[in-house]
Amino acid sequence: MAKFARLAIFCVAFVVSSTSCDVTSGTGTCDCSEAIKRLQKSLDNLNDILSQSTVVITRNQAATSCPNEIKTYQKAHYKVIEEDGARWRLFWWYKANTTWPALVSDVLQDKYGDCDASAPYCFGRLPEALMENQAEMLGIDSADNAYRWKFNSNNRVSHAVWEAFHDHKDAQVKNVDVWNPKVIRGTAPKAAQDSFHYRMEHGVRSLQIDDDNCDCLTSLSMGHGMCLEGFSTQYGPENVYGVDLLYDTYCNTPKPSNGLFLYFRDDDDCMNVTCPANKVCVDGIYSYVCVDA
């Protein structure tokens, strides 16, 4: 909140310094009406900034001397589900039979919290607050296949996927560490998932988890089809964008008729919290806040 306070002080100082008052010489007029209008506009803008954020108390995630720290997160009221004994919050989705948006050139273009929860698609990234070795991801497609991945910084495929979804970094690893999902519903991938790439293909930054950086036998494929350093029309037509189903029966490419929803594990941080009288606990990401009831 300190930065907002400094911003408010700056606004006042700027407006006062721009008035026509000459108080040092005692001469001239002192018309502050325009300055007051500018001050009101600045305060209105500041209020808009504050209204778009919420302050939460966050557990310190590093071994420091400070047990708690205050962070500001943008409000994001995305769908929460219970699946496989855990709670999950939606962060990426593409509804089946949605026309691929012409202006989208990156399947991970949106910062977490920037999407309209009612939109038919969201190309969101994982929240910045997540920690790699504690994070998990759940995928559910329009055929009701459900896969669960646990991130592991020591697994090169997992780490590359993390850097794409969390840090927005291009990556390409091939035939390294196997990172198979846990199958909650549906069928397991036919091949060991030991490869990943996230790169530009046919005008869209696309991604793929599979066995060889090519369209066959993928477990996650979003954007445009990809094969090695390019694309092979042997597996599908060019310039078709969408998602593949989690279980790839052979060599299917992404298409707009499929749907996919991705969630991150979001445990209820209010579960063991007792707020003071007349306060209620509001859950966040590794965080909670007690607010007036």
Q: What is the pLDDT of residues 173-194, one digit of tens each?
A: 999 999 999 999 999 999 999 9
192 & 255 share domain: yes
What pLDDT score was predicted for residue 269? 84
115 & 202 share domain: yes
143 in any annotated domain? yes
61 in any annotated domain? yes
43 & 129 share domain: no
Query: In sequence order, what are the residues at sequence separation of 6 or more whose Cβ sits closer than 8 angstroms to the Cβ of residue 118?
Result: none
34 & 153 share domain: no
Domain that holds residue 260: 56-265
Alpha carbon distances (Å) from 178 to 136, 172, 236: 16, 14, 26
131 in any annotated domain? yes
Instruction: Work out the pLDDT band at 1, boundaries 50, 70, 90.
Output: very low
pTM: 0.73
Which of these ranges, 45-54, 77-86, 118-127, has the smallest mean pLDDT?
45-54
What pLDDT score was predicted for residue 287? 81
Mean pLDDT of 96-109: 97
Mean pLDDT of 74-86: 83
288 in any annotated domain? no
Is the confidence at residue 282, as pLDDT, over 70?
A: yes
208 & 72 share domain: yes
Mean pLDDT of 30-35: 49
169 & 256 share domain: yes
107 & 34 share domain: no
7 & 43 share domain: yes
273 in any annotated domain? no
> What would the pLDDT profile of 33-75 be if each residue is shown by its tens digit?
554 455 454 444 444 433 333 333 333 333 333 333 333 334 4
Instruction: Work out the pLDDT band at 129, boundaries 50, 70, 90.
Output: very high
183 & 43 share domain: no
Instruction: Work out the pLDDT band at 2, boundaries 50, 70, 90.
Output: very low
Name the domain count of the chain: 2
43 & 165 share domain: no
115 in any annotated domain? yes
178 & 252 share domain: yes
What pLDDT score was predicted for residue 260? 98
183 in any annotated domain? yes
33 & 66 share domain: no
46 in any annotated domain? yes
